Structure 1
Amino acid sequence: LPTAERIAREAPRELANAHTFFNVANTILLIGFVGPLSRLVQRLAPAPPRLEPKLIQPKFIDPVYLGTPDLALQQIRHEIGRIGRRVVDMMEAAPLIVMHGRPDRMEVIVTMAGELEQLYDHIVAYSRELGGKEISESQSHSLQTLLEIGNYLMSTADIVETSFVSMSEEVRENRLEVSPGTRLKLQQLFEAVSLAMRLSLKALEEEKLEEARRVIEMKETVDELANQTIDRLGERLLANEPNRIILFRIQNEIVNQTKRIYYLAKRIAKAILSEESNHLSQFKRNSEGEIR
């Protein structure tokens, strides 16, 4: 081939070979710097720290009070009241998940339940320390009552976390619709039971016995609302609409679980009244002993 034509044909290939050789050489040279460069980048722009789940901590109980049992009992009472307020928040989210299909609220409920378990474990551990000290019979009875109330509150949280969340998932998966009339009846029942729990907590934290008595007196109202709701469900069962049987079963279970929560609120109220009765009896015995 003429020289000019040969150069025209071979020049691009030679340039490509030279470019490839240059890239390979650079790669070989830079491989040795990968480790140091990586460490340098990490120092200049460190990865964000891993966010660990936030553990809820006690707000009131403290070892400093263990030397004074009456103060320690009061702090336990406040801490259990703190659990109660969170339980009420969970209860009031229940209608949103079972009637309105709010999966975001379901996640909140599950998270709150886990936090309550942590907090209750702290309370139980603290109570064990207090119970291991020299405390009076009356103080021991008060401690037992407070733990009993805490257990009722944790049972309430468990109902919301397990039963209501499970039912709401079934409602959502089957795309079930709650009729306005049924929704109204269920809402009235929810509100009555929520009020009962709030009154029980007020009786616990503020030592207002009249509120505890109100909770017990609400039994007739709660039973009436529950019966009205069941009657409504029976009427809707006969409606010519899809998914009647499954919806009846779920809504009937909602009523039953809501009534269970009321009975737990009533047990809290009764425990508070029993504790007050015990204090009065102890005071009377002490007074009689002094007179003798």
Structure 2
Amino acid sequence: MLLVTGANGQLGRRVVAHLLARVPATELAVSVRDPGAAADLAALGVTVRKGDFDEPDTLPAAFAGAGRMLLISSAGMPHSVRLAHHEAAVAGAVAAGVGSLVYTSLSTASPASIGEVHRRTEDAIVGSGLRHTFLRNPLYTDNFLGGVLDESELVTATGDGRVASATRDDLAEAAAVVLSDERHDRPFYDLTGPAAWSQDELAAVLSEVTGREVTHGAVPAEEYARQLRAVDVPEALVAVLLDIHATIAAGGFAQVTGDLAELLGRRPSTVEDAVRAL
């Protein structure tokens, strides 16, 4: 049996959809906080179980019988909550006798503001003795595209830095491939999109696709932070965004690997593909 945690989330739903294209629904189980929200999956024959990371006692039963399990990283905040969620899930997987654990981690280039919880989770998984594979995901292309079709200027503190992002759907498909096929077992995959792109290039693509001029307004970090606060972005998120933009500006997310293309058996979507789809 294959099991996916967080299957009601944006990534989890996509992973399940890709798995259902590869394996019978009767071989798939999901662990979710609210089983009622996954009633449509149950109707397809997927086993739906309640597994709440805030209630660790629910997890061994939720994970029972799983030969291979995908642990999708928690969206809990602050990071101490996320780490506690992950540690509870790892302990639950050990108690349930899960055969192999696949974890959606993050690029090792990630700054501490978003990467530390993943690095500590990887350490916990290694220390558990579970057979495992880490999917070290890049930044999501999707996260750069929210609201951009209505913008005439993209304001960032990334300078001319480049980012080898990938779409959420491509990463979900890769997770489904690894989870459903033991031939892809290995300690980790460094996943990226097919090319690194800059905000100037994104603005040019948006100009071409929308038929109106879109520019990139590169500003100092202090000005970017001021503009975020002016629209009531929470201070914790301001700090994370500044950290991400600084890492992009320094070239930390520019590396391109072939791991995602290898898993998909095709070229991953480019930022231009994603803009045109949007």
TM normalised by structure 1 equals 0.30
Rg larger for: 1
More helix by share: 1
More strand by share: 2
TM normalised by structure 2 equals 0.31
